[in-house]
């Protein structure tokens, strides 16, 4: 039994041990019932928890305690039982299952030398942002922020002081693609102050109010004051909630000039809205970036997005990316009257028939489908590309997204949607 679980990878990770030794003491202090637990196994178990946490899994001391007490109930010599127990207790996202399986395999079976190497490969594959062991280098095309936070706040004060009203007006209408670094920075700051709001829908939850439904509970309660005589009926009305928002943005080569500011725009929107906002990027494949966008710090969030996406400025396959969205995510994030924002210039190199079909499917499953096109800002632009032609019949709104003014328009339109 001991040989099956003794971890030879410990030498390489001795440093990590130090940090959570306190936790081990805490556990033994609490008199864990795990009589079968010898010191070495406990250490390995805790180390394993550490490893999983570093991989980005949501592991906390409570979970580890659960696992230790679970060992009381299973035959620990039987590897598959131990494996399934650890899995059911420590993982609670389907996406994390393969990662856990590999980590388990590596941790409990491989000798030390290969452990470190494969381990790094594993850490690169992790899906969600978290403490990083070997951060991969940022891609060149990834959004990079000019300077640190202190300079950006300096810039902001400069803008506030020097920019006059007309300057700001000019900036509002300037095309994102034609901006220099200073203007980009200024717009970035102005973007943070946009007021985002998406219209509400009636949910099926009722609350006391002036609706159509009689509230018998309150009616009866009130009638008791008058010896059970009902003088006034109480009513209930549907509760209202803002609609969920889904953003699917094109980051292919032709969109490159806009990508950086659009990402900030998506980030700002997610930060400002209280309802669920899901965000996806695509050029040749689809990447969900909802999780990194939750990070509070803008620069850090964008850096994490940069690491996650590996087809920056690639080709465009709108139809295929949408298909992946519809098949894998549609059922999970659409619904509840969601509003979908599709951001793309419509230069599609894929099959227009496929795009048409998937647009139709998307339209069927959401409340409102809005296509934002940066090219629409140009006065002489006509939507003639095959991609746009295929998609147009299924779009509710076709709007420009090339300058600050267009974003403001979008904001007011979202707030007024039915």
The total of other beta-carbon atoms located within 10 Å of residue 364's CB is: 12
Nearest distance from C-beta of residue 210 to other proteins, angstroms:
18
Phi, psi of 360 (to 5 degrees): -60, -40
CA 140, CA 142: separation in Å to the nearest integer? 5
Size of the site for other proteins (CB under 8 A): 41
Determine the interface stretch with other proteins among 80-88, 137-145, 266-274, 311-319 (rule: CB under 8 A).
80-88
The DSSP H or E segment spanning 208 is strand 200-209
Q: Is the dihedral of CA 312, 314, 318, 320 positive or negative?
A: negative
- With respect to other proteins, which residue has the nearer C-beta, 109 or 357? 357
- Is 127 among the residues that bind other proteins (CB under 8 A)? no
Q: Looking at the DSSP assignment, which residues form a beta bridge with residue 236?
A: 208, 213
Nearest distance from C-beta of residue 173 to other proteins, angstroms:
39
- With respect to other proteins, which residue has the nearer C-beta, 111 or 228? 228
DSSP string of 84-130, one letter each residue: HHHHHHH---GGGHHHHHHHHHHHHHS-HHHHHHHHHHHHHT--S--
CA 315, CA 348: separation in Å to the nearest integer? 8
- With respect to other proteins, which residue has the nearer C-beta, 326 or 403? 326
Determine the interface stretch with other proteins among 176-184, 222-230, 300-308, 375-383 (rule: CB under 8 A).
222-230
Contacts with other proteins in 279-338 (CB under 8 A)? 326-327, 331-333, 335-336
Contacts with other proteins in 40-79 (CB under 8 A)? 58, 60, 63, 66, 69-70, 73-74
- Is 85 among the residues that bind other proteins (CB under 8 A)? yes
> 200, 245 in Cβ contact below 8 A?
no
Q: Which residues contact 346 (CB under 8 A, 6 or more apart)?
A: 318, 373, 375, 383, 385, 387, 388, 391
Binder to other proteins among 11, 30, 173, 217 (CB under 8 A)? 217
CA 188, CA 32: separation in Å to the nearest integer? 53
- From residue 344 to residue 383, the character string flagging contacts with other proteins as x (rule: CB under 8 A) and all else as - is -------------x---x----------------------
Residues that bind other proteins (CB under 8 A): 58, 60, 63, 66, 69-70, 73-74, 80-81, 84-85, 87-89, 91-94, 97, 203-206, 216-217, 220, 223-224, 227-228, 276, 326-327, 331-333, 335-336, 357, 361
């Amino acid at each position: 039994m001991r040989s099956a679980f003794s971890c030879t990878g410990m030498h390489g990770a001795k440093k990590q041990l130090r940090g959570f030794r306190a936790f081990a003491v805490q556990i033994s202090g609490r008199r864990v019932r795990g009589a079968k637990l010898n010191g070495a196994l406990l250490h390995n178990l805790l180390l394993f928890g550490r490893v999983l946490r570093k991989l980005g899994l949501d592991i906390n001391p409570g979970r580890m305690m659960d696992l230790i007490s679970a060992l009381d109930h299973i035959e620990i010599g039987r590897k598959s039982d131990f494996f399934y127990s650890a899995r059911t207790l420590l993982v609670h996202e389907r996406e994390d299952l393969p990662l856990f399986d590999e980590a388990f395999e590596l941790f409990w079976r491989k000798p030390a030398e290969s452990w470190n190497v494969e381990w790094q490969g594993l850490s690169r594959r992790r899906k969600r942002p978290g403490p990083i062991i070997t951060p991969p280098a940022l891609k060149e095309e990834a959004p990079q922020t000019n300077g640190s936070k202190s300079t950006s706040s300096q810039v902001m004060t400069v803008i506030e002081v020097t920019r006059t009203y007309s300057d700001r007006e000019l900036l509002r209408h300037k095309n994102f693609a034609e901006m220099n670094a200073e203007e980009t920075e200024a717009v970035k700051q102005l973007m943070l102050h946009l007021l985002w709001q998406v219209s509400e829908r009636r949910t099926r939850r009722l609350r006391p109010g002036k609706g159509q439904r009689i509230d018998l509970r309150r009616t009866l309660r009130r009638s008791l004051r008058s010896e059970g005589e009902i003088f006034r009926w109480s009513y209930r009305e549907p509760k209202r909630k803002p609609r969920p928002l889904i953003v699917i943005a094109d980051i292919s080569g032709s969109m490159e000039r806009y990508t950086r500011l659009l990402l900030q725009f998506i980030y700002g929107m997610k930060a400002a809205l209280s309802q669920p906002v899901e965000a996806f990027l695509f050029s040749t494949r689809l990447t969900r970036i909802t999780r990194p966008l939750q990070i509070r710090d803008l620069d850090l969030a964008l850096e994490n997005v940069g690491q996650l996406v590996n087809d920056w400025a690639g080709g465009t396959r709108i139809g295929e990316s949408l298909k992946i969205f519809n098949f894998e995510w549609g059922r999970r994030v659409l619904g509840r009257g969601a509003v979908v924002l599709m951001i793309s210039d419509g230069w599609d190199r894929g099959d227009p028939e496929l795009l048409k079909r998937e647009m139709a499917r998307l339209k069927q499953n959401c409340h409102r489908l809005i296509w934002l096109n940066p090219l629409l800002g140009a006065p002489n632009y006509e939507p003639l590309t095959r991609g746009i032609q295929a998609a147009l019949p299924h779009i509710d709104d076709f709007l420009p997204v090339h300058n600050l003014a267009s974003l403001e328009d979008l904001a007011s339109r979202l707030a007024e949607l039915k």
